[in-house]
């Protein structure tokens, strides 16, 4: 499961084969007992475990990396991060970042009016930035300006030229001096899935000509000192450090150009993009990154300094809008395996071979016995042909259901035997490449992919998936995961691997104890992008603090959305639903299909389900 490779030290496997969270040196707690306690309290799964200490640790890690680089290079400016709350607006996330970031003057970034309203209510370090990105109407701009009167370091970023006039007009009307940033469209592009965010065709930002017009316009207004920040962003999850260096160089040259044009910028904002190594491969693969947080900080500081020295301009305060890197690690989705299905394996259970079996079934029996390392390819092709014939004959009524069942089980046994023979072989014939996937068991997990891991469905994002315990026991099965939505896309068939992507995950035979899988590194973007397919709602959450001695405390348990909430979000009202069921039950009572006791029970059950969790509720254990 590659835990040491992707966990960045925030998780590890202990000597009892359990995954532990390790939020700080000397602090560790296994996850399984946390789930056991939640279940003992009578709560239902799935659940998201959130570890605020991990968020605090990530904030410290990023800021310390920049501080170290600044000291090392003798950089004369500072670093001040801002957290773009769109990455995760959850209260525990924003408040944990605000608290841990206070000493570093780490700020926030809002991309909409609602996000700004949320950010303004946070008590940040007065130096901390509150950046306003995204397209803005007058209301957004006014709110941002009011923020300055509250003593907050609010910077309004111009995403398109026409926003400048609006800002000046509103600022005049309110009598508030604005702090303005400009977003510049770098020609440098990122690498990875979001590389379209940069480049000349990017959705946001001004070109070089417009940038100079902003300077001129502010000079005319005698407000050049209001222009405080240059902002750039080349996309999220930049996998290749070289792309970052190229972009930072271009951004710093632009900064120097603006200074030369008379601007007095204080901040150079290099945007987001700091990656997360989801697969632990440390490569430029889209789910990875070929650099560390420390290398990122060092390269950004070094590059900015190098250009500033060459251009003889002051070294600005460096700002980054790292979101993914601060939040991905803190959350783990825990999903119980509720069932396992797979290709029929139990040949013995099927009727023993008999004289009357159809010849095609006998042929398959012969293939199974005769397979060897020399002939498996030929035998495979024969078996595929025989299976096709079996089905054709069944359709025509020449093969019984019993023979079909036995024939299919024999075919699966043949595939398993071949899979064993080619295991570890360097060369696998094309037609056998998908064998593992075909033979894999389907582990049915109590969760919705669309609600909890939407990026896996939408953009094939990979998240490390690991059983919470039994890691001292060799897994005996290969599986893929399916969720409980009625959508055949609700499945996970791609898993992390150091060299490639794996089609199956090694898993244990579920025993008498519940078997739990954790999806890790899912704390960035997933919570907000999730959708209510099949009316599976928000998942319950436990906010957990790790205490010394391997102990933990569940600070807060937030129940997931109830069925009623989900139904109401579609425009229905609860009383209307209850009335309709009551009327129908009364009619059934009159018609005699329901007794009055049953009616009472039915209404009670209906009411209970409206208040229930939308996921499967089994007695665990």
- 277 annotated ligand binder: yes
Using CB under 6 A as the binding rule, whether residue 84 contacts ligand PLP is answered as yes
Of 23-31, 68-76, 256-264, 321-329: span binding ligand PLP (CB under 6 A): 321-329
- 268 annotated ligand binder: yes
Q: Pick from 52, 57, 101, 272 the residue near ligand PLP by CB under 6 A.
A: 272
Dist CA 191 CA 15 (whole Å): 39
Q: Pick from 153, 236, 452, 526 the residue near ligand PLP by CB under 6 A.
A: 236
Of 18-26, 230-238, 348-356, 571-579: span binding ligand PLP (CB under 6 A): 230-238
Task: Report the DSSP pairing between strands 47-50 and 540-547.
Answer: parallel
- Residue 286's H or E segment, with its range, is none
CB nearer ligand PLP, residue 331 or residue 507: 331
Using CB under 6 A as the binding rule, whether residue 379 contacts ligand PLP is answered as no
Sequence-distant (≥ 6) Cβ neighbours of residue 9 within 8 angstroms: 22
Closest separation in Å from C-beta 319 to ligand PLP: 10
- 272 annotated ligand binder: yes
CB 197 within 8 A of CB 234: yes
- 424 annotated ligand binder: no
Sites for ligand PLP among residues 126-165 (CB under 6 A): 133
* DSSP conformation letters of 438-501: HH-EEEEESS-HHHH-HHHHHH-----EEESS-TTS---EEEEEE-SSS-TT-EE--EE-SSSE
Task: Report the DSSP pairing between strands 227-231 and 129-132.
Answer: unpaired
Closest separation in Å from C-beta 201 to ligand PLP: 15
Dist CA 130 CA 120 (whole Å): 8
Number of residues that bind ligand PLP (CB under 6 A): 15
Closest separation in Å from C-beta 162 to ligand PLP: 19
Sequence-distant (≥ 6) Cβ neighbours of residue 464 within 8 angstroms: 1, 2, 3, 6, 7, 278, 279, 280, 496, 519, 520, 521
Closest separation in Å from C-beta 470 to ligand PLP: 34
CB nearer ligand PLP, residue 411 or residue 525: 525
CB nearer ligand PLP, residue 325 or residue 445: 325
Q: Pick from 22, 239, 288, 322 the residue near ligand PLP by CB under 6 A.
A: 322
CB nearer ligand PLP, residue 325 or residue 337: 325
- 462 annotated ligand binder: no
Using CB under 6 A as the binding rule, whether residue 273 contacts ligand PLP is answered as yes
Dist CA 149 CA 506 (whole Å): 57
Between the alpha carbon of residue 578 and those of residues 571, 582, 589, 605, the distances in Å are 15, 6, 16, 11
CB nearer ligand PLP, residue 55 or residue 390: 55
CB nearer ligand PLP, residue 23 or residue 323: 323
What Rg value do the Cα atoms of the chain yield, rounded?
Answer: 30
Closest separation in Å from C-beta 300 to ligand PLP: 13
Of 58-66, 141-149, 322-330, 456-464: span binding ligand PLP (CB under 6 A): 322-330
CB 46 within 8 A of CB 58: no
Closest separation in Å from C-beta 525 to ligand PLP: 7
Using CB under 6 A as the binding rule, whether residue 274 contacts ligand PLP is answered as yes
- 438 annotated ligand binder: no
Cβ-in-10-Å burial (0-12, 13-18, 19+) of 64 comes to middle
Closest separation in Å from C-beta 322 to ligand PLP: 4
Sites for ligand PLP among residues 1-20 (CB under 6 A): none
Using CB under 6 A as the binding rule, whether residue 181 contacts ligand PLP is answered as no
Tokens of 10: 């925030």
For the CA atoms of 579, 580, 586, 588, what is the dihedral angle to 10 degrees? -160
Dist CA 411 CA 495 (whole Å): 27
Sequence-distant (≥ 6) Cβ neighbours of residue 199 within 8 angstroms: 185, 186, 187, 188, 189, 234
Sequence-distant (≥ 6) Cβ neighbours of residue 206 within 8 angstroms: 158, 160, 161, 182, 183, 184, 185, 214
List the catalytic residue out of 119, 131, 132, 486: 486
Tokens of 581: 């069921």
- 276 annotated ligand binder: yes
Using CB under 6 A as the binding rule, whether residue 323 contacts ligand PLP is answered as yes
308 catalytic per annotation: no
Q: Which residue is nearest to ligand PLP (CB)?
A: 272
- 42 annotated ligand binder: no
Closest separation in Å from C-beta 272 to ligand PLP: 2
CB nearer ligand PLP, residue 322 or residue 614: 322
String marking each residue 29-68 x if it binds ligand PLP according to CB under 6 A: ----------------------------------------
CA 345 to chain centre: 35
Residues marked active site are found at: 486
Q: State the residues that interact with ligand PLP by CB under 6 A.
A: 84, 87, 133, 233, 236-237, 271-274, 321-325
């Amino acid at each position: 499961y590659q835990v040491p490779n992707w966990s960045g030290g925030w998780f590890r496997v202990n000597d009892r084969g359990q995954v532990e969270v390790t939020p700080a040196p000397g602090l560790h707690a296994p996850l399984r007992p946390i789930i056991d306690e939640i279940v003992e309290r009578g709560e239902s799964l799935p659940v998201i475990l959130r570890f605020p200490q991990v968020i605090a640790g990530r904030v410290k890690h990023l800021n310390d990396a920049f501080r170290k680089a600044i000291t090392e290079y003798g950089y004369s400016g500072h670093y001040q991060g801002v957290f773009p709350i769109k990455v995760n607006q959850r209260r525990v996330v924003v408040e944990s970042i605000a608290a841990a970031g206070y000493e570093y003057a780490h700020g926030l970034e809002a991309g909409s009016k609602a996000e700004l309203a949320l950010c303004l209510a946070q008590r940040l370090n007065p130096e901390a930035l509150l950046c306003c990105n995204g397209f803005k109407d007058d209301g957004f701009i006014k709110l941002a300006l009011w923020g300055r009167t509250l003593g907050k370091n609010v910077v309004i970023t111009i995403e398109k030229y026409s926003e400048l006039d609006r800002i000046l007009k509103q600022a005049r009307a309110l009598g508030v001096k604005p702090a303005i940033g400009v977003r510049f469209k770098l020609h440098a592009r990122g690498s990875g899935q979001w590389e379209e965010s940069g480049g000349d065709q990017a959705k946001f930002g001004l070109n070089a000509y417009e940038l100079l017009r902003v300077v001129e316009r502010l000079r005319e207004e005698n407000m050049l000192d209001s222009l405080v920040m240059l902002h750039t962003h080349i996309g999220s999850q930049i996998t290749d450090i070289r792309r970052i260096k190229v972009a930072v160089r271009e951004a710093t040259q632009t900064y120097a150009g603006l200074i030369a044009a008379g601007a007095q910028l204080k901040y150079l904002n290099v945007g987001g993009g700091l990656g997360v190594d989801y697969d632990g491969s440390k490569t430029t693969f889209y789910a990875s990154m070929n650099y560390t947080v420390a290398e990122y900080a060092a390269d950004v500081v070094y590059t900015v300094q190098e250009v500033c020295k060459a251009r003889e301009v002051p070294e600005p305060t460096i700002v980054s809008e790292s979101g993914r890197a601060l939040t991905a690690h803190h959350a783990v989705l825990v999903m119980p395996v509720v069932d396992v299905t797979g290709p029929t394996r139990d040949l013995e259970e099927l009727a023993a071979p008999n004289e009357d079996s159809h010849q095609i079934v006998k042929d398959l029996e012969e293939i199974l016995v005769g397979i060897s390392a020399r002939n498996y390819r030929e035998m495979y092709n024969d078996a595929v042909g025989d299976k096709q014939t079996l089905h054709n004959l069944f359709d025509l009524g020449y093969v019984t259901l019993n023979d079909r069942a036995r024939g299919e089980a024999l075919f699966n046994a043949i595939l398993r035997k071949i899979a064993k023979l080619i295991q570890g072989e360097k060369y696998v014939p094309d037609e056998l490449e998908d064998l593992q996937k075909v033979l894999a068991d389907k582990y049915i997990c109590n969760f919705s992919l669309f609600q909890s891991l939407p990026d896996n469905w939408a953009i094939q994002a990979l998240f490390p998936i690991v059983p919470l315990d039994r890691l001292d026991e060799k897994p005996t099965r290969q599986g893929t995961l399916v969720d409980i939505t009625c959508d055949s896309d609700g499945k996970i068939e791609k898993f992390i691997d150091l060299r490639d992507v794996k089609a199956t995950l090694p898993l244990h035979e579920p025993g008498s104890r519940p078997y739990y899988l954790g999806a890790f590194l899912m704390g960035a973007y997933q919570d907000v992008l999730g959708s209510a397919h099949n009316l599976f709602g928000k998942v319950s959450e436990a906010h957990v603090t790790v205490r010394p001695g391997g102990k933990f405390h569940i600070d807060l348990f937030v129940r997931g959305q109830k069925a009623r909430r989900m139904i109401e979000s579609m425009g229905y009202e609860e009383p209307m639903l209850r009335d309709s069921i009551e009327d129908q039950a009364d009619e059934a009572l009159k018609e005699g299909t329901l007794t009055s006791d049953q009616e009472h029970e039915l209404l009670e059950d209906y009411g209970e389900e409206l208040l229930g969790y939308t996921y499967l509720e089994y007695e665990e254990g």
